[in-house]
Amino acid sequence: MLVFIDSYFGDRLISGRKCSLKELQERFRKVIEISHGEDFTALFCRVYNFEELPLDDDLEIDMVIVLDTYRVYKPRRRIIRKR
């Protein structure tokens, strides 16, 4: 499962075991609660055994996490383009 993390501080891409939108939202909430200013992506990957990947052109992603608004959703258009 590919998850695109959209953030003002830099977009990231992570990969891990497939889960539902509801499960990902719950995982997001738990990591936010324990992060205390720590790098969200690194902590999320460590806690849930995800791996950070380099951003590449035309990737088909499964979910999006927007750190600036705390939104987690399944995109209609699953292709991302490097900015």
Compare 58 and 2 and report the one with higher pLDDT. 2
The string of pLDDT tens digits covering residues 18-47 is 999 999 999 999 999 999 888 999 999 999
Which pTM does this prediction carry?
Answer: 0.88
- Greater model confidence, 56 or 22: 22
Cα separation of 35 and 21, whole Å?
A: 21
Please give the pLDDT value at position 59: 81
Token reading at 14: 């992570």
Q: How far apart are CA 77 and CA 71, in angstroms?
A: 16
d(CA 59, CA 81): 7
Tokens 């995982």, residue located? 27
User: For the chain, what are the domain ranges?
Assistant: 2-80
Where does the pLDDT of residue 82 fall: very low under 50, low under 70, confident under 90, or very high at 90 and above?
A: low
Alpha helices (runs of H) in 1-83, residue ranges in sequence order: 21-35, 40-48
